[in-house]
């Protein structure tokens, strides 16, 4: 029996609701299997905790987390804490602490989901986001605070090492997909230093992957291509900022923010990787029991794959597709189902398979 120790951080808002749903689905899957089981440990690292104690992560928290096989994360964000504080103190602290430099975001339209985009059924992308440096390196400063001549700088840091490892990761991922295509997205016409380095290193790494078809796009043009010619893209590699924006676009084009999953990977497995739905805490709908749990389910499938449980991951993915195809949908997709309705339906489907 393979035992997977998973640290669960539901976080804030609907994170609590969808991660609870995802855990139930994972439990159901493991009960159907004699091969593996989960050992979940819950962590209450949240904005609530921050407001009460002044910290998101307690002392020694990261060391404790580092002993787990994976982290299942909900969302962080609260009306009482500025977003840049909650993001840096919790989510980015984990991503950076565990060198989870590869952020992977698949996007495709699941059966039964209506996209507002014509031809959206042709979307089948994986966006690879550099997750450790670049525009979100946290470098910058403020001068002359409050004065009319106040200045704020935000300095993007790109290192050859950081660029090379994300490109190599993206090429390997593209190589494993049927179409074997990789699109480089930068902004190297307007930004002459870091972006040009990104381009150069990409073409150097490309020499090691002759079977991958490559092309390149400026980030502005990439947005129009995603909308107008979705079928021409497969794997997309981009910087922290650019890929952040492109993946929200991808999620919206493929149906709803509530569906999309993401993995923050430390590909060398020196530290645990973290899996989360891409949506935030969504306080407008929190506590109502109507959050779409599909993003948390798809996230769970990515986590299973990472833990080496490919068969279970495929079974879960198939169950997710039967769920969305059945028309049992939450409000964000135009339906009336609750989080619990969707969770019950997928669990009983898994039990019957
Ligand atoms: P954060 O500040 O943490 O990013 P947010 O309040 O900006 O959170 P997002 O998750 O970014 O919220 O989503 C924007 C909107 O999309 C939400 O306000 C909500 O209405 C909708 N939404 C997001 N996720 C879901 C979901 N899982 N189910 C239903 N609706 C969702
Ligand atoms: Mg948001």
Find how far residue 85's CA is from the centre of its chain: 20
Q: pTM of the predicted model, to two decimals?
A: 0.94
By most ligand atoms within 8 Å of CB, the mutation choice from 280, 294, 331 for ligand 1 is 280
**Is the distance from CB of 239 to CB of 253 less than 8 angstroms?**
no
**3-state class of 91 per DSSP?**
helix
User: Measuring CA to CA, which residue among 36, 14, 30 is closest to residue 316?
Assistant: 30
In a domain, 265, yes or no: yes
Which numbered ligand comes closest to the C-alpha of 277?
1
In a domain, 245, yes or no: yes
Same domain, 94 and 147: no
Same domain, 229 and 270: no
Per the prediction, the chain carries an average pLDDT of 96
φ/ψ of 147, rounded to 5, equals -90, 160
Q: What is the pLDDT of residue 117?
A: 85
Same domain, 29 and 85: yes
Q: What is the pLDDT of residue 95?
A: 95
Same domain, 283 and 213: no
By most ligand atoms within 8 Å of CB, the mutation choice from 82, 84, 279, 287 for ligand 1 is 279
Same domain, 156 and 187: yes
Same domain, 242 and 324: no
In a domain, 107, yes or no: no
Q: How far is the CA of 260 from the centre of ligand 2 (A)?
A: 13
Q: What is the pLDDT of residue 87?
A: 87
For residue 87, give every residue at least 6 positions away whose Cβ sits within 8 Å of its Cβ, in sequence order, or none: 76, 77
Domain boundary residue, one of 192, 222, 254: 254
Same domain, 351 and 311: yes
Same domain, 122 and 249: yes
Same domain, 98 and 174: no
In a domain, 287, yes or no: yes
Phi-psi region of 140 (alpha: psi -120 to 50; beta: other; left: phi over 0): left
Q: What does the pLDDT look like over 150-184, one tens digit per residue? A: 999 999 999 999 999 999 999 999 999 999 999 99
Domain boundary residue, one of 254, 276, 291: 254
In a domain, 108, yes or no: no
Q: How far is the CA of 279 from the centre of ligand 1 (A)?
A: 5
Which domain does 196 fall in, by range? Answer: 115-254
CA-based torsion, 259, 264, 267, 273: positive or negative: negative
Q: What does the pLDDT look like over 291-307, one tens digit per residue? A: 999 999 999 999 999 99
Ligand 1 pocket by Cβ (under 6 Å): 14, 18, 75, 77, 83, 257-258, 279-285, 291-292, 295, 330, 332
Q: What does the pLDDT look like over 70-91, one tens digit per residue? A: 999 999 999 999 988 988 899 9
CATH code of residue 60: 3.40.718.10
Which numbered ligand comes closest to the C-alpha of 76?
1
In a domain, 17, yes or no: yes
Same domain, 130 and 238: yes
In a domain, 202, yes or no: yes
- Domains in the chain: how many in total? 2
Which residue's alpha carbon is nearest to atom 5 within ligand 1? 282
Q: What does the alpha-carbon distance between residue 92 and residue 266 come to, in Å, rounded to a whole number? A: 14
Same domain, 199 and 247: yes
Cα angle value 176/182/185 (rounded, 5°): 145
Atom index in ligand 1 nearest the CA of residue 14 equals 27
Same domain, 190 and 288: no
**Is the distance from CB of 158 to CB of 133 less than 8 angstroms?**
yes
Which residue's alpha carbon is nearest to atom 26 within ligand 1? 258
Which residue's alpha carbon is nearest to atom 6 within ligand 1? 282
Which residue's alpha carbon is nearest to atom 10 within ligand 1? 280
In a domain, 109, yes or no: no
Domain boundary residue, one of 206, 234, 254: 254
Q: What is the pLDDT of residue 88?
A: 84
Q: What does the pLDDT look like over 233-244, one tens digit per residue? A: 999 999 999 999
ipTM of model: 0.94
Neighbours of 71 (CB within 10 A): 23
Q: In what order do the strands lie in the sheet with 124-130?
A: 36-42, 2-11, 70-75, 273-277, 261-265, 102-108, 124-130, 235-238, 181-186, 213-218
Which numbered ligand comes closest to the C-alpha of 282?
1
Confidence of residue 114 (pLDDT cuts 50, 70, 90): confident
């Amino acid at each position: 029996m393979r035992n997977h120790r998973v640290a669960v951080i539901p976080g804030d808002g609907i994170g609590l609701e969808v991660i609870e749903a995802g855990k139930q689905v994972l439990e159901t899957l493991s009960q159907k299997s004699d091969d593996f089981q989960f050992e979940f440990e819950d962590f209450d690292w949240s904005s609530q905790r921050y407001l009460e104690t002044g910290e998101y992560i307690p002392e020694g928290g990261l060391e404790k987390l580092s002993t787990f096989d994976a982290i299942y994360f909900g969302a962080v964000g609260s009306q009482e804490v500025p977003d840049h504080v909650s993001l840096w103190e919790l989510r980015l602290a984990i991503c950076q602490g565990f060198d989870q430099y590869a952020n992977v975001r698949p996007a495709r339209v699941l059966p039964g989901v209506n996209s507002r985009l014509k031809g959206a059924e042709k979307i089948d992308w994986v966006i690879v986001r550099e997750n450790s440096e670049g525009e979100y390196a946290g470098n910058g400063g403020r001068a002359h605070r409050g004065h009319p001549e106040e200045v704020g700088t935000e300095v993007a840091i790109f290192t050859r090492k950081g660029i090379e490892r994300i490109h190599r990761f993206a090429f390997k991922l593209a190589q494993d997909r049927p179409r074997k295509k990789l699109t480089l997205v930068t902004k190297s016409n307007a930004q002459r230093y870091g972006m040009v380095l990104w381009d150069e290193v990409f073409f150097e790494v490309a020499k090691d992957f002759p079977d991958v078809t490559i092309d390149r796009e400026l980030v502005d043009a990439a947005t129009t291509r995603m909308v107008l010619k979705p079928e021409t893209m497969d794997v997309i590699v981009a910087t922290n900022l650019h890929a952040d924006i492109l993946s929200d676009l991808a999620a919206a084009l493929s149906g709803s923010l509530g569906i999309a999953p993401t993995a923050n990977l430390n590909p060398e497995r020196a530290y645990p990787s973290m899996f989360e739905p891409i949506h935030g805490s969504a306080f407008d709908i929190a506590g109502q029991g109507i959050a779409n749990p599909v993003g948390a389910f798809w996230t769970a499938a990515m986590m299973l794959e990472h833990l080496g449980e490919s068969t279970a991951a495929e079974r879960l993915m198939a169950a997710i597709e039967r769920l969305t195809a059945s028309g049992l949908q939450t409000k964000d997709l135009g339906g009336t189902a609750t989080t619990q309705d969707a969770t019950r339906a997928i669990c009983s489907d898994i039990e019957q398979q």
